[in-house]
Amino acid sequence: MHVAAIIAAGGSGTRLGAGVPKQFLQLGQQTILQRSIEAFTGHDRITEVILALPAGSPIETAAGTAAAKLRVVMGGARRQDSVANAFAAVSPDAEIVLVHDAARPFVSAAVISRTIDAAAAHGAAIAAVAVTDTVKQVTMEAGHRVIAGTIPRESIYLAQTPQGFRREVLAKAVAVGRGEAVATDEATLAELAGHPVHIVEGDIENVKITTSADLDRARQRLAEGATARAGTGYDLHRLVEGRPLIIGGVDIPFERGAMGHSDADVACHAVTDAVLGAACLGDIGRHFPDSDPRWKGASSIDLLRQAATMVRAGGFEIVNLDVVVILERPKIAPYLSKIREGLATALSVPIDRVSVKGKTNEGVDAVGRGEAIAAHAVALLASVS
């Protein structure tokens, strides 16, 4: 089933008062928006993600590491206009379309899956949570708030996102939104279009960041829930004629290169094992086996980017990285800054969190004789509960 996800990030977020749209504010090692994006690009049932951004937004900064399934459109004046712009860019093959607020960065894979299933079964569904407090209806009398009645709380739910729709249902809802109707979510437009909307269990942790207090609580949640996780990686390849020498995604001029199924980038392979190991997600051979023809000649920097997405989808932040590349020649000192930049970009972390060093093996063993190249890597992650 082809499932598309629209991430509505076209608003200005003025209520938070940060001077920039709230979706671009940092929340741990990523922005609020990057967290929301990776919740969907890292979900195995999501085929494509359409991101609606404010006009003039720095797309690379907004999206971080652009996954292959991610596309960007410009948002509109209202939320419903942004969603309409994104819906116009959805693949015609999409059967189910989800809509998610960028300001909900803690959405879980389970909530996403429940919404997909309910949308497929019923045509329209939203994640929502039941209220637990007694609900009072209030009126104003002589400038004072007065209780006018008590609403049965079992009939009250707080709407969240994602909200999911069969394609034809969302098309009718978007058409209603292009008229005079004004709505704060797509479920309202679907209701106005005459479609019943079903409820699936949301998550009280799937909070929306609207005010500065919300942001403070979200940052505190990350700080309290984080624990350090370390992983190590190692890789070695023979050096042969007729192959390029690629280290950290950088093509280094030399008469020999590393032999391997992919491009045999030892730095990327060691780093991939380090980050996957710290997250207890196996190793590079498990996810990108050399028995699979898909990875024949693959760019290892792309494989590292995919591994970083898996790690974040598993609830981890990449804190920093230290890499040692071991070879007799050529000297890689002139290329270290480019190697660091390539690794940092693939991991979507600042370059000052990536260290790369070049060493020789002092003439000892195959590496020392110039017959091979090796790399060691250590990655530190923060697991967020």
**219-244 residue pLDDT tens:** 888 777 668 899 999 999 999 999 99
What integer best gives the mean pLDDT of the chain?
A: 90
Count the neighbouring beta carbons within 10 Å of the beta carbon of residue 9.
29
**199-230: buried (b, 16+ CB within 10 Å) or exposed (e) per residue?**
bbebbeebbbbeeeebbeebeebbeeebeebe
Question: How many angstroms separate the CA atoms of 375 and 236, rounded?
Answer: 7
Q: Do 103 and 64 reside in the same domain of the chain?
A: yes
pLDDT of residue 60: 47
C-alpha–C-alpha distance, residues 272 and 307, integer Å: 6
The total number of structural domains that make up the chain:
2
pLDDT in tens, 33-76: 988 998 998 898 999 999 999 876 665 445 544 456 899 999 99
Residues in contact with 243: Cβ distance below 8 Å, sequence separation at least 6, in sequence order: 256, 257, 258, 259, 264
CATH of the domain at 268: 3.30.1330.50
Q: Is 21 exposed, middle or buried (0-12, 13-18, 19+ CB in 10 A)?
A: buried
- For residues 189, 192, 194, 200, the Cα torsion angle rounded to the nearest 10 degrees is 50
One domain for residues 292 and 201: no
What is the per-residue pLDDT across 314-351, written as a single tens digit (0 to 9) for each?
888 899 999 999 999 999 999 999 999 999 999 988 89
Which residue's structure tokens are 């790690």? 311
Q: Identify the domain boundary among 210, 238, 253.
A: 210
Given this model, what pLDDT does residue 61 score? Answer: 46
- 247 shares its domain with 111: no
Res 170 pLDDT > 90: yes
Label each residue of 168-185 as H, E or C.
HHHHHHHHHHCCCCCCCC
122-140: pLDDT as tens digits: 999 999 999 999 999 999 9
Calculate mean pLDDT across residues 77-94.
Answer: 94
Decide if 374 is inside a domain: yes
CA proximity to 23, closest of 254, 121, 128, 15: 15
The helix (H) or strand (E) run that includes residue 342 is: helix 336-347
- Whether residue 77 contacts residue 182, with contact meaning beta carbons closer than 8 Å, is answered with no
Residue 199: give the domain boundaries. Answer: 3-130+158-210
Q: Is the same domain home to 247 and 108? A: no
Tell me which residue has tokens 């009280």.
204
Does residue 376 fall inside a structural domain? yes
Same domain, residue pair 243 and 105: no
* 237 and 200 inside one domain: no
